Structure 1
Amino acid sequence: MQATNALYTDLSGYYDLMCCDINYLQQSHGIIRLQQLFGNSGIQHLDLACGTGPHIRHFLDAGFTSQGLDLNQPMLALAQARCPEATFKLGDMCTFELSQPVDLITCFLYSIHYSGSVAQLSACIKQAWQALNAGGIFCFNAVDKDKICNLSAVSHSTSYQDSRFDFASAWYYSGNGEQQALKLQISKTTASEHQY
């Protein structure tokens, strides 16, 4: 995604609005249940590509000791405000290292695809494996590039601070190569202007 105006330059201010329809509690509890059933039942947790920290909030509330990693410092600042008892680190999920291993690593909302190429994805998975305690698990979701419908998108609108925001996002695959892209459209309408 290339920034074309202020709406795209820093998504941190709009991220929670863009994702307001996501049931973070349900997603978090689903992974907690997987950890109970298939993991080592430990409580040390790392969330890769954590964004503003909504999943981490639910893991903390469930008794986990959580930390988050993201490439975007403004997102991490919002995450730290939301979850002051968690630890956050600016970094790349393909090259991160931890001082102590964890029991559970998560990467929600298809964010594993931000790793880029298949080689970088492999590096991310390797780093996660090395960061886990014995019996720990790495949970993420992924999009099959061969099943992407380039014509479909998820969209919603919301009002915030006397403005209307319209969001649309869709995974796109050109049909060639290994990489897919997330297409994002944001528009903001106020009484005096409309931004795309």
Structure 2
Amino acid sequence: MLVALMSGKALTATELAAEAGIMAQTASAHLARLHGGGLLLARKQGRHKYFALASTDVAGVLEALMGLAADAGHLRSRTGPKDKALRQARICYNHLAGDMSVQMFDSLIAQNFLDPSGGRLQLTEPGRDFAAKLGVDIDKLAAGRSELCRECLDWSKRRSHLAGSLGRAMLARFVELGWARLDRSTRIVTFTTTGSRQFGSMFEKRTAAENCNSPLQVEP
């Protein structure tokens, strides 16, 4: 049920019971415990009660736990063609996860847009310029209550990807530009041909040792 909520969408107890393959009464009992433990938020709307993850911190913990479960061979997975798509690009609560997210994270560090030194991920001045060219308002994000940049351990790659308000804003910008589409029922993020090309040019596969800056060109 918690994994189903990683899409960032609020769901009812009935919908979550269907996701887990259990009776509604059983789901309600579990949801009460999860809500009481601070993992979920509950909101009533009309006759329905909706549940969502309590915070991005909860989503980050879940992503890490899924990595541990996969290593132990206990991760519940749906077989079929969606598996590859989920590993390629998916929603992690409100930011990009999967192979493409790790590629983006590595590239941002290699281009000196993110600085992981000092024990806390920081956006550099070149990174601010990069974000502005992409159309992300960093000043607005920095004024918010959410942490600007944060590492999230990717369960399928076992490496970091970008979370925080910047990670959320970048995924939203990809969607706004028409480069990507979100499917919240499966959590799959599908990039268009143009989007894949733009993504590849901005975030080339490289290592931190290959620290070089490349001009950003945003096509509509």
**TM-score per shorter chain, which class?**
under 0.3
The structure showing larger relative contact order (alpha-carbon pairs under 8 Å, at least 6 residues apart) is: 2
Q: TM-score, normalised by structure 1?
A: 0.28
Q: TM-score, normalised by structure 2?
A: 0.26
Name whichever structure is richer in strand by fraction. 1
Name whichever structure is richer in helix by fraction. 2
